[in-house]
Amino acid sequence: MLNVLILATIIAPIVLAMMELIKRTIKIKKNLIPLTAFAVGVFIGFVAYPFTDLDLVLRIWAGAFAGLSATGIFEITNYRDGYSKGEK
């Protein structure tokens, strides 16, 4: 479990940066941002195989933890209306 948390700590800033890139380039509903961060984290955990010897399931768990920590678990329960990119 310690290795999963270490990998999640490494992945979290990457997920945060990817989410900022996604939010600034793609018009996405604000209430879908946590779910998108979760999916990005799982994807990054999945493709992290050259950098770690963890099993696939543990890498996916680490990515999920990183995705949730990048946005904050509390935001999943908040209803947010509107979009991340301003209206033109």
Cα separation, 21 vs 59, in Å, equals 23
How does pLDDT run across 17-30, given as a tens digit for each residue? 898 899 889 998 88
- What pLDDT is stored for residue 77 in this prediction? 57
In this predicted model, which residue has the larger pLDDT, 78 or 49?
A: 49
In this predicted model, which residue has the larger pLDDT, 84 or 9?
A: 9
| Domains in the chain: boundaries | 2-76
Token reading at 51: 């950098």
Token reading at 32: 């879908």
Nearest to 61 by CA among 6, 12, 2, 8: 8
pTM of the model: 0.78
